[in-house]
Amino acid sequence: MTATQDQQPGDRAAATTGLLDVLGRLIRTARAVSHRHQVRFGLSGTPLGILTSLAGGAARGGDLAARLQIAPSVVSRAVVPLEHEGLVERTDDPDDARAARLALTSAGRERLEAARREFTDRVTPVLERWDTDDVVTLTRLMSRLESDLAEGLDPASTGRGPRPTTS
């Protein structure tokens, strides 16, 4: 038997409650960091997610919505100020004359890189106290948790598009 199979139901419930408590604190901390980014770089949640996603290449608004698991209308509203600030540009989609593609501008890439550098500079000293294997394990487990939780989302009830598959 594995350690998981040996656990009593109460142990699993307590472990799950403990995990949810830690996740709640982590989300609050992430929001505080996001607020700091917003103040310093003019970027927060959705706009930062859009820039991060576009760093991988141009995309249609609907594709961004699916990647970010948000409604297409949220992407549309968030892109307007990013365009006005010169961080994102809209071009015709060569594959579909009815659609537009969004892409990072050089100013958008610079702003995103500055925000990433500051966040990396903040986290690196904390993780220097960690064993590299622990960082790798935590990354793998958090990715698995995020994927499993996202898989359970009902796109119809959340207004979110289907979760894109990764290969």
Determine the pLDDT at residue 94.
Answer: 86
pLDDT in tens, 21-34: 999 999 998 888 77
pLDDT in tens, 113-167: 998 888 888 889 989 999 999 999 999 999 999 888 888 776 544 444 454 444 4
99, 105, 111, 116 alpha-carbon torsion, rounded to 10°: 70
The CATH architecture of the domain made up of 42-151 is: Orthogonal Bundle (1.10)
Sorted by where each begins, the domain ranges of the chain are: 42-151
Give me the long-range contacts of 147-155 (CB less than 8 A, separation at least 24): 150/69, 153/69
pLDDT in tens, 65-84: 999 989 999 999 999 999 99
Instruction: Please answer whether residues 37 and 48 qualify as being in contact, where contact means their C-beta atoms are separated by less than 8 angstroms.
Output: yes
